[in-house]
Each structure stands twice: as C-alpha cells, then as structure tokens.
Amino acid sequence: MTNATSTPTAVTVGIAGLSIDDVVAVARHGAPVVLDPAALDEVAASREIIDGLAADPNPHYGISTGFGALATTFIAEDRRAQLQASLVRSHAAGSGAEVEREVVRALMLLRLSTLMTGRTGVRRETAETYAAILNAGITPVVREYGSLGCSGDLAPLAHCALVAMGEGDVRDATGQATDAASALAAAGITPLHLGEKEGLALINGTDGMLGMLALAITDLQMLLTTADISASMSVEGLMGTDAVFAADLQALRPQRGQAISAGNFRKLLADSPIIHSHKGPEDGRVQDAYSLRCAPIVHGAARDTVAHAISVAEAELASAVDNPVLTKDGRVESNGNFHGAPVAYVLDFLAIAAADVASMSERRTDRFLDRARNQGLPPFLAHEVGVDSGLMIAQYTAAGIVSEMKRLAVPSSVDSIPSSAMQEDHVSMGWAAARKLRRAVDGLSRVLAIEVLTAARGLALRAPLEPGAPTGAVVALTESLGAGPGPDRFLSPEIEAVAAAVASGRVAAEAASVAGRLD
C-alpha cells in the first residue's frame, strides 16, 4: 500500500528467517535477494540425506511414495522425477483473477526462506533459482482461488513452482504477460528439473497467507496512526474536547494500544486554537459522542490486535514449514506444521478490528453532515444549501464500504471443507482469510480518506478559527489535492486523490512532520 522512497537494501535470506520489514521490502519495493552462503551449505548437506533415503528400498513419504491419500503407494526410482513434476502440474489448479504482484513475490520469498533453513531437502540450485526469479522481477501468474490453507497454500505455491520448471504463465519485470519459458530464457535462468521431494517442498507451506499478513500488518500500523489523525481532525471540527485524552485518565485503564493512540491525540490537538476557543466553564457540553470520546479506546484495541498479529507473524517467519521435514539429527518426519490455523485466526481478527475502526470513522463523518449535530456548520458542508449537496454522497460511499467490511469481518477460519479423500479432513481457510483482509485494509484506507476530506472541509468552514498546526497541515494537503470547500463539482476524483494520500502514508507523514513522531 505504501510506496518506496529510495532504492531498497538487499535482503539476505538464511537459516534465521526473515522479518516483516524484509518481506515488505522484497514483495512491495523490489529489494534484491541475497542467499546466505552458510545457509546454502546447510541446504546442500540436507540434500545428501534425501539422496540417501531415495536409494533406500523402504518407502519414505514424499521421496519414494505418492502424496496425500496416495501416501502408501510406492514409486519406482525411474518414475520419481515424473512424480514431482506431475505433483506441481496437477496442483497448479488455481482459478479466477490474478493475485497481486506483491502477494506473489511475498509467497515466493517466504517459500525460499523455508528452503534456506536446510530442513526441506531441496538442492542448492532450487533455492538459487527462486532467488534468481525474484531478482529478475518475474512474477508467476497465481489465481485467486485454489488454497484451503492446508496443506499450506498448495495451488498458489504450485503456480510458482511450475514457473521455476519453465512452464505456466508469468508477468515480466515490466508487467507484460508472457510464458515462463520465454521469461526465464530472457533472464538467463535455467528451468529446474525437480528431484525427489522437491515438488512437495515447493508447495507445502503457509507462505501466501503469511505474506499477506505481513503486508497487512505494515499497512494497518500506518492506517491506525492515520485514524488517530482523522479522528483528531473530527474532534476539532466538531468542537469537541481534548480533556478526555489526558494521560492520567487514560492510565486508569492501562491498555497499551489505548495509551499509544491517546498520546497521538494529545500531540495532534496540543495548542489547537479551535479546541481552546471553547475550553473552560462557559462550555456547557458535558461530554462528546462516543465516536469522538472513545476513539483512542477503539483505535487502541485495534493496535493491540496488530501487536498480537505481529507476534504470530514473527514466529511463523522463523519457521520451517514443510512436510515431511528434515530434523537436525537427520530424520525425515511427517508433521502438521503446514496447518494455517495460527495465521488464519489473526487474519480474521484483524479484519474485525479494521471493520470496527472504519465503522467509528464513518460515524464521525456522518456527524459533520448533520446540522443537528455538527455544531453550527452548514448541512452536508454544502456551499449553497439547497442548491449544493456538499459531501452527502461521500458519506454514502463510506457507509457502503463499512457495510462490506462488516461482512468481510465474518471469520473464514471457522469454516472447513474436507479434501483429498478425507486425508486432509480439516483445513484452515487461511488463504481466504488473507484475501478478505486485503479488501478490508483497502476499505479502511478509503473510509479514513473520506473522514479526512470531510473533517478538512469542516475545519476550513470554521474560519476565522484555525486548527492546530499538525491537523492544519493535513487540511492544507487536502486542499492542494483540490478537495477544499466550494460549490458542488465532480467529487470522485477528490475522494480518490485523498484516498491515495492516505494509502501511501502521505497524510500520516504530513501530520507527523509538524507534530513530531506519531506512533
């Protein structure tokens, strides 16, 4: 969602795993990937174990047997290369629209990260090929539907593995659609011929849902700061009080996220002429509406949800998710670590939090437009009441998005459809949880943008009273985007311009440039 401001530093992939920032750097900003030489040695050593087991007359799952419900079927040595290639081809069964480039890059990077743990048994050149594809900017075409989130994101990962084999469809570094063989040839990359276990190792992981979680966490951290900004603008524009954000009052309920958001409110509203214009005993209002007064509590709860999601993501980023997996003492063991439940739960939880923050934002927008509640502003903030409709329908847009976000907040992880002839009889639906969270994050950014646009117009209409310097900077930004007060005009471009400023982090940066660091 946010844009890179400089050339990203290379990300080293090794045994220790990756950080959330690493994932975003490679997936979204095109940071190059470097493979740690020591980790590559571990990869090579683990492959020797697989080669030894491949020569064993006793069957070993994924090496000399079929997969899933066919795990008891022994595969002769001369058919195992075909077994691995067939696995990838058959599992590349996605359908629907293309998945976004940043998601596919995150998917491939995280699979590469697991390969580099030395726990999967792939060959060194397999890891090197994945790194080369990422560095060449080649993006496999992955389809929207196909993953049940267990055994990992099978179909999406299979589409990536298929490209590494020189098959399937891709988009090159310019975004042009082409076939994998041509793209690899143009980049000087030799297609893989998979050995024992490699097809399985390339498709068995939570990488898609985890990549989308990392991207969503990054976006939500910025958007929750933006929500503090938009809400502060609304407190000002609706002639609210900042007294409720006092540190001693917030400390009576020591929730961590709440304290962070309240601190942002205090910074943003400090020395606001509008706030000071009605402070004191002459202000007869006892307390503001919940959407103003309780904003740090709701925003803070969302922050705490993100903090929990970060802890889950960091554990997953340090994981070697494969089945079977090579242990440090050389055993090859089947396991259930590919099940997406830990990631799926927090993806659903974040969608709930995003919907609630957006719901409160829309209520503040609505207050600005109702002359019975907006403390003397014109109805709908219209320029000429009766002739102009002002921001009436902008609120409809926000309301429609919020309604959809409430539907998106219905958990995916409580659903399960058995698959693979009942061998995989419980699945996480984590991929679906991640897909709907991406839409929810986009919706939140747009709802906040409409609040920013509305509050900025309301603050401008309070002249000669002026907002505080941080919120005033955001008002100036919206006006520079053509979104100031005035007669009715084509409104959609203004909403889109402010939405882009919110999604890119520009609104948050503008306020912070005056207020100082906002958490």
Query: Whole-angstrom Cα distance, residue 506 to residue 181?
Result: 40
Query: Whole-angstrom Cα distance, residue 416 to residue 445?
Result: 30
Which DSSP state fits 61?
Answer: T
Query: Whole-angstrom Cα distance, residue 293 to residue 315?
Result: 36
Query: Whole-angstrom Cα distance, residue 92 to residue 422?
Result: 20
Torsions phi, psi of 140, nearest 5? Answer: -60, 145
Query: Whole-angstrom Cα distance, residue 519 to residue 512?
Result: 9
Active site residue 61: yes
Closest CA to 64 of 52, 80, 51: 80
- Three-state SS sequence of 309-367: HHHHHHHHHCCCCCCCEECCCCCEECCCCCCCHHHHHHHHHHHHHHHHHHHHHHHHHHH
Q: If you search the block for the tokens 């492959």, which residue do you land on? A: 47
Instruction: Kindly state the helix (H) or strand (E) to which residue 178 belongs, with its residue range.
Output: strand 177-179
DSSP reduced 3-state for 170:
strand
User: Among positive and negative, which fits the CA dihedral 17, 20, 22, 23?
Assistant: positive
Catalytic residue, from 61, 145, 290, 396: name it: 61
The size of the chain, in residues, is 519
Closest CA to 219 of 27, 461, 480, 493: 27
Token pair belonging to 250: 């917030």
Q: Is the peptide bond before 464 cis (omega within 30 degrees of 0)?
A: yes
Number of CB atoms found within 10 A of residue 225's CB: 23
CB-based contact 445:223 (threshold 8 Å): yes
Q: If you search the block for the tokens 């402010």, which residue do you land on? A: 498
Query: Whole-angstrom Cα distance, residue 166 to residue 160?
Result: 10
Burial class, 371, CB count within 10 angstroms (exposed 0-12 / middle 13-18 / buried 19+): middle
Closest CA to 442 of 402, 488, 411, 477: 402
List active site positions.
61
